[in-house]
Homo-oligomer: A and B are copies of this chain.
């Protein structure tokens, strides 16, 4: 399961209960910038494992992460701020996960 998580733009309270639950339950949180996402998670008492996922490693990371998703791990995808895949990295992993799910 891949959760695409919208994160705050400017105010750390601008995050939904569902996103916080998904981030807390994830086996792995993919971050455009782990430092930025760490601030959000620490603010809300979440200590899930973080891994970078950005424009310079998204092809490599997608290849690493896809087997874990298929194996049943829960992965949350975040960007610095806003919704991953809109104008941030993430589209590649989302497309790969959708393709794997439709097989």
Contacts and interface: CB of A to CB of B under 8 A. Distances in A.
Interface residues of A, number: 9
A21 B15 CA distance: 12
Counting every copy of the chain, the complex holds 2
Contacts of A14: 16-18
A28 B11 CA distance: 24
A13 interface: yes
Interface in A1-28: 11, 13-18, 20-21
Contacts of A15: 16-17
Interface of A: 11, 13-18, 20-21
Given A13-B18, A14-B17, A17-B20, 11 more contacts: A11-B18, A13-B16, A13-B17, A13-B21, A14-B16, A14-B18, A15-B16, A15-B17, A16-B16, A16-B17, A17-B17
